[in-house]
Amino acid sequence: MPSFGTVEDLPPEQRLLVRLDLNAPVEEGVVKDNRRFSRHAETVERLLDDGHALALLAHQGRPGRDTFVSLGQHAEILADHLDREVEFVADTFGEEALEAIDDLAGGEVLLLENVRMCDEELPEKTPEEHAESELVRTLAPEFDAYVNDAYSAAHRAHASIVGFPLVMDAYAGPVMETEYTANSAIREREFDRVTMVLGGTKAEDLIPVIERLEGVDRFCLGGIVGELFLRAAGHDVGYDVESDLFDDQWDENREEIKETLETHGDRLVLASDLAYEDAAGERAEVAVDGVEKETSFLDVGSDTVATYADHVSESDAVFVKGALGVFEDEPFSDGTVGVLRAIADTDCFSVVGGGDTSRAIPMYDLPEDAFSHVSIAGGAYVAALTGEELVAIEVLERDG
């Protein structure tokens, strides 16, 4: 059991610095609502009801990417969930931010600017080094305590995650506590037959999962990751056509992918068909055998969905990390939603992980209570599954 303090241990009416993870999809500059907002809104509401004054820290994207935007829209989305005003401050720890923090009263909440716009945030350093950063040293004296609710960033040794607990009282928020307890408990349980559905965009994140989780009987692959494994198996897919998502990953991970396929091939289930958008703008499918890639594939095909659903129905436990296709576009939701529906219809222990993937559940009216746990975390979820220590938990426990 974790040995960190939680918000239940806080005295009332404190001025709190609260780290959330509001990282969300961004399409043409527009920030999209996702489950992280609703989950963290519950934390904010709970703290405000206890009379605390809250300044929120969060991030969005990374420098150089289209998703690296200001948090002004995030404040509006969060305010809609809370049904109360969330003041946005276009500053993180400068004079404007400090003035707004000083004016905070109990029951009020403000959101500071994207913390990744601060040069000190992103470098992976030790907690001790981050504790000496100007960001931490400037903000810490302004608050009574620090609350980390950003479980999905718990594997990141970034300043706003690991620096504050070393210089001030620190507590885990409800999302941090719930996610850590649920995801860590997965490793403690034993099941007769386990299936894991792996998709998404990052092969380097999922290769360790395949290598380390010996208790998983079948890994069903899809998404960009699945195409890269199909390429390793000799099929004419898994390279860039109208995108830049494949070739760099292939160059960086080809040996690991090929070795994983050779070593664990008896546990890997690859797609037998793939879906794409035809000239008429409709969903079309093609068998993997003999395919020549001329357009982007956007989902696994119907035969693959049926195969994966069969594996799910025969399982005592099913874990999901990453989408099998571009489920946001309804014609290409068959893979992701088909597997989720099969899980919902199966009497099994199930965990759906990944902030983006979990959006498919409300988007397609799937009953959330049909899943044992729906995680908003991606990388931290994988870390928990594979037994990797979470640095945010380590510093919270050190403080506790």
Taking only the tens place, the pLDDT of each residue in 171-202 is: 999 999 988 887 776 667 788 999 999 998 88
The answer on pLDDT for 265 being more than 60 is yes
**Residue range 371-393: mean pLDDT, rounded:** 84
**Residue range 348-360: mean pLDDT, rounded:** 84
* The pLDDT of residue 399: 57
Average pLDDT of the chain?
93
- Give the whole-angstrom CA distance, residue 158 versus residue 395: 12
The percent of residues above 90 in pLDDT, for the chain, comes to 80
* The pLDDT of residue 358: 82
Q: How many alpha carbons fall within 13 Å on the CB side of residue 83? A: 1
Question: Running DSSP on this structure, what letter comes out for residue 163?
Answer: I
Taking only the tens place, the pLDDT of each residue in 104-151 is: 999 999 999 999 999 999 998 999 999 999 999 999 999 999 999 999
* The pLDDT of residue 389: 82
**3-class DSSP state of 57:** strand
The answer on pLDDT for 99 being more than 60 is yes
The answer on pLDDT for 355 being more than 70 is no
Radius of gyration of the chain (CA): 22
pTM of the model: 0.80
**3-class DSSP state of 192:** coil
* The pLDDT of residue 134: 97
* The pLDDT of residue 185: 66
Which pLDDT band, with edges at 50, 70 and 90, does 2 fall under? Answer: low
For residue 312, CA distances in Å to 158, 198, 210, 316, 342 come to 37, 13, 17, 8, 6
Taking only the tens place, the pLDDT of each residue in 17-37 is: 999 999 998 999 999 998 899
**Residue range 98-109: mean pLDDT, rounded:** 97
**Residue range 55-63: mean pLDDT, rounded:** 97
* The pLDDT of residue 356: 74
Contact between residue 286 and residue 271 where contact means Cβ atoms under 8 Å apart: no
